[in-house]
Amino acid sequence: QTGCYGNVNNIYTTGASCATGSPEGLSYCGVAASEKIAERDLYNMNKYKTIIKSAGAKKCVDPAVIAAIISREGKNCKNTSSFQEVMFSLAFLDRRDHTVVEAWDSEEHVLQGTGVLVSMIQGLFWCFLPGGISAYNAGRGNVQTYPNMDIGTTHNDYANDVVA
């Protein structure tokens, strides 16, 4: 299923930076690194496949994008109480900015996170998927131009890795 905000298969991407691939034990970067990381996460993503597909259909977002964001955000998860108090679950919503709904692994929660992504995409006047993905990570004000949209995101490659 492609979403209302573009077909990820038609978006040019550089993939994961070496800063993203290295902690995963990869000696390479780019689309191949993104694909390898996604392959490793496939088992965990399949546990939530029904929820992700339903949220994608309801919010008109490609489920692959939702799964990739969940996978990428999970890489940032640190085992500290302060991090756990602020960030919450599959959609990794920041409690400082959002009132979190339902259980961490519920469809409602994934719908909430996907809704945040949609609002980020729609908030950009050129309304493009990669920019919305970057904004989901670093805030709408961070996205200045298409070529430089990932500057200021985690490892400066967030949207390129998610899209790959």
Catalytic center residues: 73
Phi, psi of 117 (to 5 degrees): -60, -50
* Cα torsion angle, 67, 77, 121, 99, sign: positive
51's CB contacts (< 8 A; 6+ apart) are 90, 105, 106, 107, 110
Q: What share of the chain is helix, strand, coil (3-state, %, to 5)?
A: 60, 5, 35
Alpha carbon distance 19, 33 (integer Å): 11
Alpha carbon distance 2, 77 (integer Å): 28
**C-beta of residue 21 within 8 angstroms of C-beta of residue 157:** no
* Cα torsion angle, 81, 140, 118, 2, sign: negative
